[in-house]
């Protein structure tokens, strides 16, 4: 049975759960278009403020199903190219999503599961969570944006260590490297991520979207182009209703209200 993507709305937060616990929530191509649609739909849903992505049960995601990949080797390459394009559409949709996306990692985040977690904006990991870029151990290179995320976030030596060794890495090591934002007690990653998501969801959505766009585009721009992008985003924000409320609330010494109750 292929993995399912379960969705649950909690106020302004959407909880998405990769569900196939018998196989450590292994990824399946049938999952990718549905996941992409959830993140793209956020563009039109002003009532949504944040998304939390987690796995069902003890693990986040064990990556791709090797039995499926073995079978794929007997078929035309074009089919696998289409599958990877669909996976990469999902990862790109998370980056383009206008609201913060938080990965809540319990247990294993392996291979494509690690890549998908890195594709989120923020990562909350349980103390005993384990991460591994296991591709090299079976003669593969990464997919799901893993190489891109690590190369952008880390010095080449650190990124290559994770990719070339293929060894299991602790949440604490990734926290020290800046890849994991927060460490939670075992079994509390989802609860911690949801609490953070609720706080972010109460914030100014348009400003948060502009911040995401600035950060994700920064490495592809020259310094002057990034300064110009910051200028344009700042001016657009300043003359928008969120800044009007935020500045007024600060001057009035009260908490700002960005969304109707």
The H-assigned helical ranges of the chain are: 31-41, 66-72, 77-96, 112-119, 146-153, 156-165, 171-177, 189-201, 205-218, 223-238, 241-251
CA pair distance 21, 31, nearest whole angstrom? 14
Mean pLDDT, the chain, integer: 94
| Span 23-53, pLDDT tens digits | 999 999 999 999 999 999 999 999 999 999 9
What was the pLDDT predicted at 67? 84
pLDDT tens-digit readout, 114-143: 999 999 999 999 999 999 999 998 888 999
Do 58 and 45 contact (CB within 8 A), yes or no? Answer: no
Kindly report the number of other CB atoms within 10 A of residue 111's CB atom.
27
Task: State the DSSP code for 99.
Answer: S
Backbone angles phi, psi at 29, to 5 degrees: -55, -30
Residue 1 has pLDDT above 90, yes or no: no
- Cα-Cα-Cα-Cα torsion 14, 40, 53, 208, nearest 10 degrees, comes to -80
Token digits of residue 48: 């949504």
**Residue 135: partners with Cβ closer than 8 Å, 6 or more residues away:** 111, 141, 142, 143, 146, 163, 166
- pLDDT, residue 69, reads 84
CB-CB neighbours of 25 under 10 Å: 28
Cα gap 251→239, rounded to integer Å: 17
Query: For the segment 192-247, what is each residue's pLDDT rounded down to a tens digit?
Result: 999 999 999 999 999 999 999 999 999 888 888 888 888 888 888 888 999 999 98
Cα–Cα distance, 50 to 39 (Å, whole number): 10
pLDDT at 56 over 80: yes
> Is the pLDDT at 72 greater than 70, yes or no?
yes
- Alpha-carbon gap, residue 257 to 212, rounded angstroms: 21
Which pLDDT tens digit goes with each residue over 6-29?
Answer: 999 999 999 999 999 999 999 999
Both tokens of 127, joined, read 């103390």
User: CB neighbours of 209 closer than 8 A, spacing ≥ 6?
Assistant: 98, 99
Dist. CA 53–CA 124, nearest whole Å = 10
């Amino acid at each position: 049975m292929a993995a399912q993507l379960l969705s649950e709305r909690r106020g302004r937060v959407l909880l998405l759960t990769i569900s196939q616990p018998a196989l450590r929530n292994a990824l399946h191509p049938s999952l990718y278009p549905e996941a992409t649609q959830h993140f793209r739909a956020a563009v039109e849903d002003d009532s949504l403020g944040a998304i939390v992505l987690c796995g069902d049960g003890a693990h986040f995601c064990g990556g791709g199903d090797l039995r499926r990949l073995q079978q794929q080797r007997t078929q035309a390459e074009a089919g696998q190219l289409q599958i990877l394009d669909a996976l990469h559409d999902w990862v790109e949709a998370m980056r383009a999503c206008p609201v913060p996306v938080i990965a809540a990692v319990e247990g294993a985040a392996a291979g494509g599961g690690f890549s998908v977690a890195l594709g989120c904006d923020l990562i909350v990991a349980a103390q005993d969570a384990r991460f591994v870029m296991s591709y090299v151990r079976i003669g593969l290179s990464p997919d799901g944006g893993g190489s891109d995320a690590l190369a952008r976030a880390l010095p080449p030596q650190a990124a290559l260590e994770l990719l070339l060794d293929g060894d299991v890495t602790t949440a604490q090591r990734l926290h020290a490297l800046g890849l994991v934002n927060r460490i939670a007690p075992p079994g509390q990653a989802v609860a911690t991520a949801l609490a953070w998501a609720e706080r972010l969801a109460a914030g100014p959505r348009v400003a948060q979207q502009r911040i995401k766009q600035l950060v994700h585009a920064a490495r592809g721009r020259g310094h002057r182009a990034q300064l110009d992008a910051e200028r344009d985003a700042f001016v657009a924000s300043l003359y928008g209703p969120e800044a009007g409320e935020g500045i007024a609330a600060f001057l009035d010494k009260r908490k700002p209200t960005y969304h109707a109750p």
